[in-house]
A and B are shown apart, each in its own frame.
Chain A
Amino acid sequence: MSQVEKTESKREVKLRVFRGMGNDPSTYRYDTFTVPHEEGMVVLNAIHYIQSHFDSSLSARWNCKAGRCGSCSAEINELPRLMCKTPVDKFEGEITVEPMKAFPLVRDLATDVTENWDVGKMIPPFTPKKGAKEPWTFYQEDVERSREMRKCIECFLCQDVCHVVREHKADYIGPRWVVKAASFDMHPMDSLNRADFMKDKAGLGYCNITKCCQEICPEHIVITDDAIIPEKERVVDRRYDPLVWVYRKLRGSE
C-alpha cells in the first residue's frame, strides 16, 4: 500500500539542516537534503529519513515521537518547535532546522539542557501541610489550577524563546521554572510561600510579559497569564501590600 503511494507521489521536501560540534564555529555549516514527501509527514520523519538513507552521522535527539516527552526541540524556520509535531506541509519551500540557541550546542541538533536541573533544584519543593488528616480530602476544583502547570513536558522551548533567558541568563530562572513553582504554589496541600524566592532568587521581576513563551508552548499552557502573572501578584501581595508589611514587621517575621 505505502509502496504504491511512494511511486505515485512525486512531491519532495527540501531541508536545510544545521551541522556542528560544541563551541567550535569552524565546524558550523548547513547541509541540504531532499527527501520524498509522505502523507502526514512531520519534520522528525524527514530527519529520520536522512539518517537512514543519506547521512547516519546526523545527530538529533528524540524519544516518543508523539509530542509527549519534549525531547526533539529545535528551531524550525526560526521558531522553537517540536520536530515530531511540526508537519512539513506547514511550510512552502525549504525548511531550515537548527538547534535551540539558548542552550550550549552538543552536536548538530542536540543541545545540552542539563543546567535545567540545577535551576530546578533551587525551587523550594512541594511541602505538604502538616497534620492534615490522611488520606487527604480535596476536590476536583482544587486540582484544576495546578493541573494546567503539570501539563509541562519540559521541552524547554519556552526557555529558548525567552529573550530574558537568552540575554540575562544569570538572573532569571525562565518560564519553565516559573511554571514549576506555580504548580507547587497551586497545589491544594502545599504549605510554602515562594514569593520571596521568586523575587530574590528567581529573578521574576525580569520578565516583562512579552508572552512569547505562551505563544509557542506545545502543550498550550498559558504560561504568562496563568503562571507568571499570578506569581508576580503573589510577590506584590507579600512584599508591597502595606498591611502585610506592617503585620510582618510587628510579628518580626521579616
Chain B
Amino acid sequence: MWSKESPVIKISDDDATYETITCDVLIVGAGGAGMRAAIEAFDHGAKTLIVCKTLMGKAHTVMAEGGIAAALGNVDPKDSWEVHFSDTIVEGQDLSNWRMAEIYSKEVIDRVYELEQYGTLFDRTADGKIMQRPFGAHTYRRLCYIGDRTGLELIRTLEDQVLKRNIPFIDEVEVTRIFRDPSSGRVSGALGIRNKTGGLLLFKCKVVILGTGGSGRVYQVTSNSYESTGDGLALAYRAGAELMDMEMIQFHPTGMIYPEGVRGLLVTEAVRGEGGILTNVKGERFMERYDPKRKELSARDVVARSIYTEIVEGRGNENGAVYLDITQKGPDYIKKKLPSMYTQFLEFAGVDITKQKMEVAPTVHYQMGGVRVEPETAGTAVPGLYAAGEVACGLHGANRLGGNSLGDILVFGRRAGIAAAEYVKSNQPGTVSEKDIAEETARMLSPFKNKNGANPFALKAKIAAVMWKYVGIVRNEADLNEGLREILVIAEEAKTVEARGPRPYNQSWFDSLQVWNMVLDCEIMIRSALRRKESRGAHTRSDYPKKDNENWLVNIITKEKDGRMTQELVPVPRPPAELAALIKE
C-alpha cells in the first residue's frame, strides 16, 4: 500500500528541459470551481487533467464557512430565484452582469441538491430537509450549510467525486504561462513546475480552465490563504484576456485581530446570522445608526465601513477592534452551530466565545473583480480559455453577498466544464511555439541567476503593507497615487528576486514567481481604483463619496495591447424588461 522512498532529484538551475503531457482540458486550480469543472468536462468525455498549486483538498475553498446561498425555500417558502436574483443585483450595486445573476439564482438550487447526492451532509430542518440560515442582505433565510464548515465539506465531497471517477490530477504544480497557437490565437498549452522535483512540465491542451481564486494575499490583513496570490489573473492577462472591475475588493466586516499570527483570520458572518451583536467600546449597538432596519445583517460593504468608521472615530478598543457578542445564545447552541469559531477563538486567542465577546475588525476577504467572462460558458476573450469562481468577474458586481461564492463555483464551474468539453469536440489541437517556450523558461528560471537579489518572502510582506496602507477600505487619489508609485518601485526591485538552493520544492523560487504576479495584479487594481471616481459598494473614495449612476454604471476593463496596459470603460449591460421588473431596491 505504501512505499518509503523519495529519490533525490538532481537538476541544474538552468535546466530548461521539460516533460510533455497531453490532454484536452487542463484545469488549473483544485478548489470548488476547478473540481466542479473537471467533473463535468470528464463526464462529457473530454480528456481532463487537474493541476493545482498546493496539495489536493487544501484549496482556499476549505476556508469558506457560512454556506451556499440558494432559494430552496425550505425555511421561508416565499423565497424564489427571482428574489435571490434581485438581492444579488441590488447588493452588487448594479454592477453585476444580469445574465450571470439570472443563471446563478436559477441553477444554484439544482447544484445544492446535486451536491447532496454526491454525499454532502447539510444541516437539517425539523422535517428532514436542508436547513437554511439568514445572512447579510439576503431577503430570506437562504444559506444551506454544514455548521460553520461548509467549504471543507464541499471540497471533500468534490474530491471524493474526483477520486471516484479517477480523474487524473497532479498537485503542487505552479503554472507560469498559458500558450496560444501563433496562427489561430487559440489556447494550445501551458507551462508549469512540478514543485516536488523542480522539473518543468509542458501541457499540450486545447482548453485551459482557470479556477485559481483571487489575490487576497496582496493585503496584510487578510482571511486568504497562501494560494491567493492572483496567479490566475496574471496568467489570463498575459495570455491576452480582459480583466474587469479589479478595484472591487471585498473587506469582510469581521476578522480576528489577536494574536498577531492569525490577524485577519475570518470570523464567519454566520455568527451574525445566528444572532451575534456588534458593539463599540462605549457599549453602543452601533449598527442601529448605520442601518436601523437590517443592523448586523446589512450588506458586507455597509457593515465593514461602519466598523471602520467606529474604529477611526475612536470608538474601537485599545486593540483597534469592536466587539462581536454571541454569548446570549448559550454554550450548547454555539458549539453546535459555530463549532469552528468556538475552537478557533479558544485555541488561538484563549477566548471562550460562549462566555466572552470576540474582538473583530475588517479583513480582506474576496475579489469581486477578475477575468471577464461570457455568462453562458464562462469563456474569456481568448478562444479556449475559461475562468470560473473568484478568478472570474461578473456575478458579484461591487459587493458580493455572503453565500454567493460557494454557489458561484458550482454553477459556473459546471458550465465551464460543459463548454470546454463542447469546444474540444470541434477544435483541433494547436501548436506551442518553441520560441514561446524558450522565452518562458528563461523568464521563470531567471530567479536562480539573481545572486544576492531580493528575498521573495520579504517582498511579499512589502507589497502587502503598501496595499493595506494605500488601497484599503476608504481610498483617495493621493493615497492611490502613492500606492501605485510604491508598487512600481517594488516591481523594479522584484526583477532581482532570488531563488536560493536547489530546485526541488524550492519555495523561494515559487514565491519569486508569485511576487511577479502580485505586482502586476496590484498595478491593475490601483489603476482601476484611480479610474473609478465614485463610491460604489466595496470601492469607497473619500474624495468622491457619492454613487454616480450618471457616469459610472460602467465596467472597467484592463487588457494588454501591443505590450502596454490599457483600460476602457464599457457600460454595464442592462437586463431585459421582464428581469428589470424583478429588481426591488
Which residues of chain B (166-185) have a CB below 8 Å from chain A?
Answer: 166, 171
With an 8 A cutoff between CB atoms, is A32 at the interface? no
Bound-state Cα–Cα, A114 to B62, Å: 19
Q: Which residues of A contact B58 (CB under 8 A)?
A: 63-64, 69-71, 154
Which of A27, A69, A151 interacts with B225 by CB under 8 Å? A69
Bound-state Cα–Cα, A134 to B498, Å: 57
Give the nearest-CB partner of B349 in chain A. A40
Bound-state Cα–Cα, A48 to B455, Å: 12
Question: Which of A139-147, A208-216, A233-241, A242-250 forms contacts with chain B?
Answer: A139-147
With an 8 A cutoff between CB atoms, is A18 at the interface? no
Given A51-B457, A71-B58, A138-B124, A66 contacting B344 (CB threshold 8 A): yes
With an 8 A cutoff between CB atoms, is B354 at the interface? no
Q: Nearest-CB distance from A246 to chain B (Å)?
A: 33
Judging by beta carbons under 8 Å apart, are B4 and A169 in contact?
yes
Bound-state Cα–Cα, A41 to B8, Å: 33
Judging by beta carbons under 8 Å apart, are B458 and A110 in contact?
no
Judging by beta carbons under 8 Å apart, are A106 and B196 in contact?
yes
Q: Nearest-CB distance from B131 to chain A (Å)?
A: 8
Bound-state Cα–Cα, A137 to B126, Å: 10
Which of B128, B225, B260 interacts with A64 by CB under 8 Å? B225
Q: Which residues of B contact A128 (CB under 8 A)?
A: 117, 119
Q: Which residues of A contact B119 (CB under 8 A)?
A: 126, 128, 184, 187
With an 8 A cutoff between CB atoms, is B55 at the interface? yes
Main secondary structure of the interface of B (DSSP, over half): loop
Which residues of chain B (435-456) have a CB below 8 Å from chain A?
Answer: 455-456
Bound-state Cα–Cα, A27 to B262, Å: 34
Q: Which residues of A contact B55 (CB under 8 A)?
A: 61, 63, 71, 113
Judging by beta carbons under 8 Å apart, are B123 and A140 in contact?
yes
Q: Determine the interface band of chain B, counting residues with CB < 8 A from chain A.
A: 35 or more
Q: Which residues of B contact A171 (CB under 8 A)?
A: 1
Which of B113, B147, B258, B455 interacts with A134 by CB under 8 Å? B113
Question: Which of B290-298, B375-383, B417-425, B499-507 forms contacts with chain A?
Answer: B499-507
With an 8 A cutoff between CB atoms, is A135 at the interface? yes
Q: Which residues of B contact A114 (CB under 8 A)?
A: 171
Q: Which residues of A contact B455 (CB under 8 A)?
A: 52, 56
With an 8 A cutoff between CB atoms, is A24 at the interface? yes
With an 8 A cutoff between CB atoms, is A94 at the interface? no
Q: Nearest-CB distance from A10 to chain B (Å)?
A: 17
Judging by beta carbons under 8 Å apart, are A63 and B505 in contact?
no
Judging by beta carbons under 8 Å apart, are B4 and A40 in contact?
no
Q: Which residues of A contact B506 (CB under 8 A)?
A: 57, 59, 107
Judging by beta carbons under 8 Å apart, are A170 and B2 in contact?
yes
Q: Which residues of A contact B501 (CB under 8 A)?
A: 56-57, 59
With an 8 A cutoff between CB atoms, is B163 at the interface? yes
Which of A38, A85, A117 interacts with B163 by CB under 8 Å? A117
Which of B5, B123, B340 interacts with A104 by CB under 8 Å? B5
Give the nearest-CB partner of A152 in chain B. B156
Q: Which residues of A contact B508 (CB under 8 A)?
A: 51, 56-57
Given A41-B259, A42-B261, A113-B55, A67 contacting B6 (CB threshold 8 A): no
Judging by beta carbons under 8 Å apart, are B156 and A59 in contact?
no
Q: Which residues of B contact A56 (CB under 8 A)?
A: 455-457, 498, 500-501, 507-508
Q: Nearest-CB distance from B358 to chain A (Å)?
A: 15
A-B contact pairs, 29 of them (CB 8 A): A40-B348, A42-B261, A52-B457, A57-B506, A61-B55, A64-B63, A66-B63, A67-B347, A68-B62, A68-B152, A69-B54, A69-B58, A85-B348, A105-B6, A112-B196, A115-B3, A121-B163, A125-B164, A126-B118, A137-B127, A140-B123, A143-B121, A143-B123, A147-B146, A150-B121, A150-B153, A153-B152, A169-B2, A170-B2
Beyond A108-B505, A165-B2, list 19 extra A-B contacts (CB 8 Å): A21-B8, A40-B348, A44-B261, A48-B457, A56-B500, A65-B226, A69-B54, A84-B261, A105-B6, A106-B504, A119-B2, A135-B113, A135-B116, A137-B128, A139-B124, A147-B147, A150-B121, A187-B119, A188-B121
